[in-house]
Amino acid sequence: MAQNPDMSVHPSDDTGGGLFTVISVAVLVGTEIMGAALAAGWALAGLFELGETLTYTLMTIFGAGGLGLLAMFVRSALRVEFAGRGR
């Protein structure tokens, strides 16, 4: 059996673990971003006593911003993870 003395992995030997890593990190980071975004909307509405309707409106606006941030993060993570693979 031939061994690789420098322990490097060639792109052709990759089994797709990078995609699994990006998905796992996206779930972790997405949970944090959405939790912070929704909590920020709820806290601001409560601070200014805006009422139930405006509370949900602020939570929706902040949540949409959080989804935008998550999309930018995932795009960057995929770009870095698959850089140099000749896609």
Which of 71, 68, 41 lies closest to 56, judged by CA?
41
pTM of the model: 0.76
Q: Which residues contact 37 (CB under 8 A, 6 or more apart)?
A: 59, 62, 63, 65, 66
User: pLDDT per residue over 6-48, tens digit each?
Assistant: 666 565 555 667 889 999 999 999 999 999 999 999 999 999 9
40 in a domain, yes or no? yes
C-beta neighbour count of 58 within 10 angstroms:
20
**Structure tokens that stand for 72 in this block:** 């930018």
14 in a domain, yes or no? no
Tally of domains in the chain: 1
- Structural domain containing residue 77: 19-81
2 in a domain, yes or no? no
34 in a domain, yes or no? yes
